[in-house]
Amino acid sequence: MQVHFIGRNGDRVTASPKPGDRLLDAAQSVGLPLEGTCNGQMACSTCHLILHPDWFARLPRASIEEEDLLDLAPDACSTSRLGCQIVLQDHLDGLLARLP
Ligand code: FES
């Protein structure tokens, strides 16, 4: 499967993760500067990504804990998610997200 990212410089980058991989790992696999400092423990928000609205709508809702962390993330918006909480499945093939 493929997922696409728009970097802070506007360049589009494509990753080829496997179903079950996290969106955070897909971004890091192509060298995007997404720290993921707590490695998915929901203690940082350095994995913040902004989803394209079409793809945001296909994701399961964020947990309360994720929402609370996103409230603290710089440049968070209505389609923000934590990349460590998005587990990629086949129906997300083609997903598009950008770095904040
Ligand atoms: Fe820390 Fe996602 S890696 S919240």
Residues having CB within 6 Å of any atom of ligand 1: 24, 36-40, 42-47, 69, 82, 84
Domain definitions of the chain by residue range? 3-98
Q: What is the DSSP string of 23-35?
A: HHHHHHHTT----
Return the ligand 1 atom nearest residue 85 CA. Answer: 2
What stretches of 10-95 show up as alpha helix (H) in DSSP? 23-29, 53-56, 64-72
pTM over 0.85: yes
Please write the tens of the pLDDT for every residue from 1-24.
999 999 999 999 999 999 999 999
Q: How far is CA 89 from the centre of its chain?
A: 13
Contact 64, 15 (CB under 8 A): no
CATH architecture for segment(s) 3-98: Roll (3.10)
Closest CA to 49 of 30, 70, 68, 63: 70
Please write the tens of the pLDDT for every residue from 51-93.
999 999 999 999 999 999 999 999 999 999 999 999 999 999 9
Radius of gyration of the chain measured on its C-alpha atoms: 12
